[in-house]
Every structure is written in structure tokens, then in C-alpha cells.
């Protein structure tokens, strides 16, 4: 299994530009999470999906952020327009749980380091 795959690994963009981050979860996982990590705020949950449906987007900072999951094998996180304070590492994670409700935890991708100048 290739694990959770994120692209690009690094992104440098100018303020005001649109940025799209991509994630391919592990096949068979029915949950997908987007996190942001910064030195100041640590790990922040932005949004998560269950079976491609957004369940909780309360962590999305503002309307400039949007996320989609058009199918079980692909998700995007878009920032438009980007601002310097969006600079962070963005992680995607996926997980599954058993029918009895066991929580197996997450598998994280390697992250996308976004720098907005």
C-alpha cells in the first residue's frame, strides 16, 4: 500500500494566487481529514469527510478555504485568494473503523509545505 499521497510536497506562491492541494487516501478508508500545522497553533483540524461527504468544516478558517471530495480516491483543499498567514504544512489523513465501531486511528500523508509570499 502506497499510503496517503499528497501533492505537491512544496508550494511557493504569491499572495492573492489560488492554491490547490491534493490528497489520495488509502483505498478502502472511508474517512478523510485535512489538518494544518504551524508552530504557533500546532495541529488544527480543518475539515473531514465520511464517504465523500463533508461532516464537519468548522475548522476552516474562512471562506477563502474550500475542500472537496468528488470520489473515494481524491480530495482537494483550495485557498483562494492565498495570504501570507496561510503559510503552513497541510496534512491529509485517512482512516477507517470496523462495523463494531473500533477506531483504528489515522494514516497521515507526508504533507504539503505551503509558503505564501
Partner 1 sequence: AQSVTQLGSHVSVSEGALVLLRCNYSSSVPPYLFWYVQYPNQGLQLLLKYTSAATLVKGINGFEAEFKKSETSFHLTKPSAHMSDAAEYFCAVGSGGYNKLIFGAGTRLAVHP
Q: For binding to partner 1 (CB under 8 A), which residues are involved?
A: 4, 31, 33, 42-43, 45, 48, 50, 56, 91, 93, 95, 97, 100-111, 113
* Closest distance to partner 1 from the beta carbon of 17 (Å): 24
Q: How far is the CB of 105 from partner 1 (least distance, A)?
A: 5
Collapsing DSSP to helix, strand or coil, 86 comes out as helix
Q: Shortest Cβ distance from residue 16 to partner 1 (Å)?
A: 27
- CB nearer to partner 1: give 71 or 100: 100
Residues 6+ apart with CB under 8 A from 10: 112, 113, 115
In this structure, the number of other CB atoms found within 10 A of the CB of residue 99 comes to 5
- Which among 10, 32, 7, 31 is positioned nearest to 21, based on CA atoms? 7
Measured from the CB atom, the residue of 74 and 89 that comes closer to partner 1 is 89
Amino acid at each position: 500500500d502506497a499510503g496517503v499521497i499528497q501533492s505537491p510536497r512544496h508550494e511557493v506562491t504569491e499572495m492573492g494566487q489560488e492554491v490547490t492541494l491534493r490528497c489520495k487516501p488509502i483505498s478502502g478508508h472511508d474517512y478523510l481529514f485535512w489538518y494544518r500545522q504551524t508552530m504557533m497553533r500546532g495541529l488544527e483540524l480543518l475539515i473531514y469527510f465520511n464517504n465523500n461527504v463533508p461532516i464537519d468544516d468548522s475548522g476552516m478558517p474562512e471562506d477563502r478555504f474550500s475542500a472537496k471530495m468528488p470520489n473515494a480516491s481524491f480530495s482537494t483543499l483550495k485557498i483562494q485568494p492565498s495570504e501570507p498567514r496561510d503559510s503552513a504544512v497541510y496534512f491529509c489523513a485517512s482512516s477507517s473503523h470496523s462495523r463494531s465501531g473500533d477506531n483504528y486511528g489515522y494514516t497521515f500523508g507526508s504533507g504539503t509545505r505551503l509558503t505564501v509570499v
